[in-house]
Amino acid sequence: MHEIPVLLLQPWPFPPPTPNPTLQRLLPRLAEKGYRFHIVAPRGSGKTPDFPVYGVDFQIRAPRWPKYPAHVLYMWELTRLNRRMVRRALQAAQNHPFRLVLGLSGAVAPATERVARALGVPSLVKLFGITYFLRYRPTPWQWLQNRENLLAFRSRVNGLLLVEDGTGGATAARRWRFPGRVWVEPQGFPEEWPRTGRYTRRSLGLAPDQQVLLVVGRLAAMKGVRFLPELLAHLDTRLPWVLVLAGEGPERPRLEQAFRRLGLDQRVRFLGPVPHEDLGDLYSLAAVYLGISPVANVTLPVVEALSLGVPVVAFDCQETGRILKTPAVQLVPPFDLKAFARAVEHWLRHPQERQQAAAEARRFARRRFLTWPQVAELEHRVFQELLHQAHAHR
């Protein structure tokens, strides 16, 4: 098979200190199709992968300043990182005939554009979600919230590949009049889930009648976890529910304190970071998945939960409702925690209806989203289209 060298730029340290499930799922499958990835990224501390990595000696700092100065400093640091990545990428290009430059995140869109232009090859930036898109001219604060995505929308890369997570990336690209081609990639989920047996009802200390409310993801403010204490306070404590949180993050101490203050700490299980191969056990234990993000709720955990037949209650923010059109998902207005609690209680009080929703959830996930081999095939077609266009214009 003829190899196609691809230069991949990303702003996060690589190899990552903890495994990145998305890279683990996609890069090996794309490598089977003949792509040879060379990664330019800040130096990471993780396990060295099987493909070349050209480390950049630069790490973006996270300043603890008020929001405006912090975001301005972050933009300045992104500019410095992009400059260093351009130099490192062009050094790598002296030894490899790269045919495509791929940027992961709008944060590296400037470097992706400059390197591709210098090499005379096509360029593509993949966006994993945006923050705010509803206004054509956002306020300065909203602009800063979208800083990385706006770098991509205002760039002159050949194309954008937008993961459809409900944040409206395609809508934003049109509103900001991105001049290149735009592709939309549905979320992916595994074809098969391993059952490691690491998480069971016994290991979680669950009584036979207790029902699990599940949240998977980083315990950070943007993920909406701050709503959880008030949400649980609205739930009927006569129902045998238990909240399970699979993830770690800066909000954990605040959450633990809030649950203790409400007298709900015995109803909550903090699992910390959970390896992806163990999530299948947790989804199988869940009665309801909670989509509590205030940004969008077509996230990987929501899609994975649906694929395994777990009904969902979620905030209907941005374009979530346009995508999650299924009886297996109950959508409530953003920030309406009383309505959210009523929807959760409805699933808990009607097990037969929940069982019917489980079958519908599995069908909907396979109809609306893609398995990871299908995602790899979609990206392969996008790469080939860009390569053919570049060849035709020579």
Question: 3-class SS at 357?
Answer: helix
Strand partners, 270: 245
- Residue matched to tokens 């409530």: 332
- Residue matched to tokens 């972050």: 74
Q: What is the biggest distance separating any 2 CA atoms in the chain, rounded to whole angstroms?
A: 70
Which tokens is 365 given? Answer: 């996930």
User: In the prediction, which pLDDT does 160 show?
Assistant: 94
Closest listed residue to residue 303, CA positions, set 171, 162, 169, 190: 190
User: In the prediction, which pLDDT does 60 show?
Assistant: 64
Closest listed residue to residue 40, CA positions, set 55, 27, 22, 24: 55
The reply to whether 211-368 shares the fold of 4-187+371-392 is yes
State pTM to two decimals.
Answer: 0.90
Check whether domain 211-368 has CATH 3.40.50.2000, yes or no: yes
Question: 3-class SS at 280?
Answer: helix
Q: Where are the domains of the chain?
A: 4-187+371-392, 211-368
For residues 337 and 345, the answer to whether their CB atoms sit within 8 Å is no
pLDDT tens across the length of the chain (394 residues): 578 999 999 988 887 776 676 677 888 899 889 999 999 988 877 676 666 777 776 666 655 656 556 667 777 888 888 999 999 999 999 989 999 999 999 999 999 999 999 999 999 999 987 665 544 455 566 566 677 888 888 899 999 999 988 877 777 788 778 889 999 999 999 988 888 889 999 999 999 999 999 999 999 888 899 999 999 999 999 999 999 999 999 999 999 999 999 999 999 999 999 988 899 999 999 999 999 998 889 999 999 999 999 999 999 988 899 999 999 999 999 889 999 999 999 999 999 999 999 999 999 999 999 999 999 999 999 999 999 987 776 6
For residues 334 and 317, the answer to whether their CB atoms sit within 8 Å is yes
User: In the prediction, which pLDDT does 28 show?
Assistant: 86
User: In the prediction, which pLDDT does 194 show?
Assistant: 85
User: In the prediction, which pLDDT does 136 show?
Assistant: 42
CA distance 220 to 249: 6
* Class of domain 4-187+371-392 as given by CATH: alpha beta
Closest listed residue to residue 54, CA positions, set 85, 23, 79: 85
